[in-house]
Amino acid sequence: MFNAVAGAHAAVGIYGKPGDIHRAVVKIPDRRLDALFALIQSRNVVHAEIEYVDFPPSVKDDGHPESMFPTALRECESFVAVINCFDSTIGRSAVDRIRDLQSEMILADFVIAESRRTRQEKDLARGGKQNPAEIEAIKKAAAILEAERPLRSAEFSSGELVHLSGFAFLSLKPLLVVLNTAEGAAVDAALIEQIQSDHVLGAKTALTALCGKVEMELAELSPDDRAAFLADFGITEPATDKLIRMSYDLLDLITFFTGAEKETRAWPIKRGTTALEAAGHIHQDMKRGFIRAEVVPVRKLIELGGMAGCRKTAAVRLEGKEYVVADGDFIFFRFNV
C-alpha cells in the first residue's frame, strides 16, 4: 500500500527489516490545479503535498502497552490502518481487527494519561504547583479512555487541545481505514456497512477499499500506459488518488491557488485560515504588508478564461484580512512593504 501511494519500491511489511521506517512525500492529485496550470501556462507547477510514513508491524508488550507504538508514529498527524480482506472468511475478522487496533490505542493512551494524572496529584500533595486547566484536561481525557472510547470521539475546547497536544495521544488523531482486497475481488458491501453501523469507527475517521497489489503495479506504469489501463477498465482515476485526498481531508486541510508567469501553485492550509494567515504561508512580507486579497473560485476563473474575464463579469471579490479562505479559492494578494 505504501509503495502504491508513494510510487516507491521499498521493502515493506514482511519483506522489510525490523525497525525499518520508510518515508515518502506525495503530491496531492488535483484536477483544478492541472486545469489552472494549462490556462496560465506558467513555467512551473507546484502541488500541495503530504508525507506518508510506513512503520514495521508493532510488537505488543503486555507490561508496557504504550511501547508498541514507536515515538515516530506518535509524531504523525493522522493514521492510515491497512486491514487485509483477501477472502470472504476474513470479513468478521476485519471488524475485530479494527476494534482491536482502537482498543490498543486507547489502552496506550490511558497508561500515559493515568501516569500524568498520578504525577500531578503527587506534586499537588507535596505542595507543588500545577496548571488547573491541564489537570482538568488530563482528567477528562483519562475518563474518556477509561470508558474505552477514543479521544477523537469527544469534543475538546481549543484550550484543552493545547494542554493535550504534548502527549501525542494516538486515539485523538484522525484515522483512515483501508480494506486491502485480493486482485479481482470486491469488498462485500455488507462488510463496509457492518463496519460503519457497528460504531467501530466514529468521528474523525474514514473508510475506503482497494487492491494494494493492483495499485502498486499501476503506479509503476508510465503515465501513458497507466491512462490506457484505466481507460480499458472504465476507471476515472487510480484508487490511491482517492486515498491520498481522503488522507488530506482527514487532516482538515483545504487548498487555495495562486498563479502567475513563474509558477502555478496549490497551497495547503488548515480549514478556517484567514486571508492574512494565508498570505503568511506564501511569504511573511506579504502578510506584514497585506492590503487586500482579490478572490475568485478557481473553477470560475478557468470557466471565464482568466482574471481579465473574471473582472469583466465582476466575479472577483475584494476581501480583507479577516476573510476565511474557502477550498478552491484563487487568490491574488495585494501588499506593500
Q: What is the pLDDT of residues 162-193, one digit of tens each?
A: 999 999 999 999 999 998 887 766 666 777 77
Could you tell me the pLDDT band of residue 64, with boundaries at 50, 70 and 90? low
Return the pLDDT at 90. Answer: 55
Distance separating alpha carbons of residues 149 and 141, to the nearest angstrom: 10
pLDDT above 90 coverage of the chain, percent: 57
Say which range, 36-45, 234-243, 257-266, 314-323, has the weakest mean pLDDT: 234-243
Please state, rounded to an integer, the average pLDDT across all residues of the chain: 88
**What pLDDT does 187 receive?**
63
The pLDDT of residue 195 is 78
Question: Measured on CA atoms in the order 185, 200, 61, 21, is the torsion positive or negative?
Answer: positive
Q: What is d(CA 248, CA 218) in angstroms, rounded to the nearest whole number?
A: 21
Position of cell 496550470? 37
- CATH number corresponding to 272-335: 3.10.20.30
- Name the grid cell of 51: 508525507
Contact call for residues 274 and 298 (beta carbons, < 8 A): no
| Nearest-angstrom CA–CA distance, 3 and 131 | 45
> What pTM, to 2 d.p., does this model score?
0.85
Task: List CB contacts of 231: < 8 A, sequence separation 6 or more.
Answer: none
d(CA 75, CA 297): 34
Count, residues in the chain: 337
Per residue in 253-310, pLDDT tens?
Answer: 999 999 999 999 999 999 999 999 999 999 999 999 999 999 999 999 999 999 999 9
Whether pLDDT at 63 is above 60? no
pLDDT(88) > 80:
no
* Residue ranges of domains in the chain: 272-335
